[in-house]
Structure 1
């Protein structure tokens, strides 16, 4: 199907011995390399694949220490780049992802429409009935936080691990800085935005079997929330102050300052009046309300600019390709 392009699949392997052979068996002939990364699996999944899988495309890589899904994928990315792959697809080994969909993830990249594609299980509303309610709620919350922190306002389902990336974009990722564990997929989006890479959603069905998820709601509201805040402020600094400046660079800090001033001043005035048992003067109310209203308007104007700034030009077709062929 793709005579001039080498396609690699990376499968992080940790406690998936019941499913991984079926996943490998479902990978079509369009794929030229399959890298199974045994992330110090207690079930010895790497040795299991070596023993039972006869597919000549399969190469097993092993970690001496567990590095999490992010660490396993980064190892696979580096191996795929070294093998000369043009596109690298990441598929989980637990059977939740249908390998027959791989062409759907590859085509937008080879057509020059995207640098990175990812699955989205929310396109078909009928299929959402198969998703456990807790996962549905968690994904909705994570998607909203991811939009703010990553800057990709037009995508959903950020924790979806069925992804593909052009090698020219992957080789410019800071492999050593990307989150190694559950925050990996979301952190990838943040890193891609700092490269101005184009990300496109690919519709897919939600499939749930006997696999066990280790993602906890408590982790979402604590660790994930803190990391989303960190990535948001880093992204804003990179895109609006370090690399470029625009009207939005003024709107956000000015709006935040006015909102904070109006809120603090208004609360102090209200508490003071409450202690004295008097009515707050109209002038004091206006002095507090006006900065709050203006601050909200400025922040909304920044968000409108940020939404309109989602990357639209694939970097593998422009900047990096010119550098590579210079």
Structure 2
């Protein structure tokens, strides 16, 4: 328990035999339940999970006794859970650890989704996500929990970019890609103050977890970005918390050419879905009209300039006049897009907070 709130941790693991044991054993004592998801690893990750769980259980019994017994009474998956049973085998708890074994490899987002489904059914107050590669500072977990316990936010995420020394610790190629995805996610999600959106160190309240559509959650590496869009559609309050990452000799399994293509497409679809859900279905706001007119006008203006040069000489009309008219239409379109972004920022201003330290 953390400040009278029960806490679960979802830990995805794929070929993390070198790191997953330490993550399980070093999990803070206030975490009541660990849903450790083995994503069809091809190494000894599963054995490492079971060994670490047994070690952790013995330590907790020796140290806490009655607390360990209380944890055993938390439901591991809430009983009947068809969505979870269709994708994974949920094993009996070993102390506070619930080992979950995927039937097929689903990627990082798929493992998080599986853990969320189990945690949602277990009905714990707060669910934290922690990668199985040891990159996350477990001692910093209270910084994610406090905004939720204090009622400031219903979702809190780590941010490696808020402090200059944190930025310097991040490899340059990751820093550039992070900045690009931050911009795209701001537009798609409506959370304009947030950055480092693909940071997987997060905490979410039970109410927020039950409000979002977990069954449709994106199952690739952009799951964090996807969840932010879903949360905004539900007008969820979020907090961006300054937390450094710990980079070791672990290797990323991301194929960046595929990653950028897939996540960019997902963000575009999510952006359109958010506008329809938030500003048309649940309520009406003219931001939708500004976005639509701005996008249409800028696209027509761009095509007009291109067509003017391709068709020059075929018409008696001056090329300068046609290019000028198309450029003006393009600029008007961008002006409407900027107005739409300003309206979107104002609408979400009270739904996000940045915590530097």
Normalised by the size of structure 1, how large is the TM-score? Answer: 0.88
Paired residues, number:
313
Check conservation: 1:96, 1:209, Cα contact below 8 A.
yes
Q: Deviations over 1:171-193 (max 9, x none)?
A: 22222211112121111111111
Matched residue SS, 2:348 = coil
Aligned pairs (5 A) from 1:134-213: 134-213=173-252
Check conservation: 2:160, 2:242, Cα contact below 8 A.
yes
2:345 to 289, 304, 307: 307
For residues 280 and 309 of structure 1, the distance between their equivalents in structure 2, rounded to whole angstroms, comes to 42
Q: Deviations over 1:248-298 (max 9, x none)?
A: 22222222333333333344344444567985364x455334433322221
For residues 59 and 272 of structure 1, the distance between their equivalents in structure 2, rounded to whole angstroms, comes to 67
Matched residue SS, 2:248 = coil
Go from structure 1 to structure 2 and tell me whether the alpha carbon gap of 1:263 and 1:62 turns closer, same or farther (over 3 Å shift): closer
Check conservation: 1:35, 1:76, Cα contact below 8 A.
yes
Check conservation: 1:8, 1:32, Cα contact below 8 A.
yes
Matched residue SS, 1:10 = strand
Check conservation: 2:182, 2:195, Cα contact below 8 A.
yes
1:114 to 134, 146, 153: 153
Structure 2 counterpart of 1:45: 45
Matched residue SS, 2:319 = coil
1:97 to 126, 133, 136: 136
For residues 285 and 227 of structure 2, the distance between their equivalents in structure 1, rounded to whole angstroms, comes to 26
Structure 2 counterpart of 1:7: 7
Instruction: Establish whether residue 298 from structure 1 lines up as the match of residue 336 from structure 2.
Output: yes
After TM superposition, give the deviation of residue 145 of structure 1 in Å: 1.2
After TM superposition, give the deviation of residue 226 of structure 1 in Å: 1.5
Query: Structure 2: which 5+ runs fail to align?
Result: 57-94, 353-357
The alignment's C-alpha RMSD in Å is 2.3
Go from structure 1 to structure 2 and tell me whether the alpha carbon gap of 1:86 and 1:287 turns closer, same or farther (over 3 Å shift): same
For residues 99 and 202 of structure 1, the distance between their equivalents in structure 2, rounded to whole angstroms, comes to 14
After TM superposition, give the deviation of residue 217 of structure 1 in Å: 2.6
Structure 1 counterpart of 2:286: 247
Matched residue SS, 1:200 = strand
2:262 to 220, 223, 226: 223
For residues 161 and 73 of structure 1, the distance between their equivalents in structure 2, rounded to whole angstroms, comes to 9
For residues 334 and 99 of structure 2, the distance between their equivalents in structure 1, rounded to whole angstroms, comes to 53
Structure 2 counterpart of 1:78: 117
For residues 306 and 52 of structure 2, the distance between their equivalents in structure 1, rounded to whole angstroms, comes to 68
Check conservation: 2:279, 2:288, Cα contact below 8 A.
yes
Check conservation: 2:22, 2:52, Cα contact below 8 A.
no
Normalised by the size of structure 2, how large is the TM-score? Answer: 0.80
Check conservation: 2:9, 2:128, Cα contact below 8 A.
yes
Q: Deviations over 1:78-129 (max 9, x none)?
A: 3223333100001011110011111111000111111111111011212322
Q: Deviations over 1:45-69 (max 9, x none)?
A: 2332223432222221212222222
Structure 1 counterpart of 2:79: none
Stretch deviating more after TM superposition (61-70 or 254-263): 254-263
Stretch deviating more after TM superposition (4-13 or 214-223): 214-223
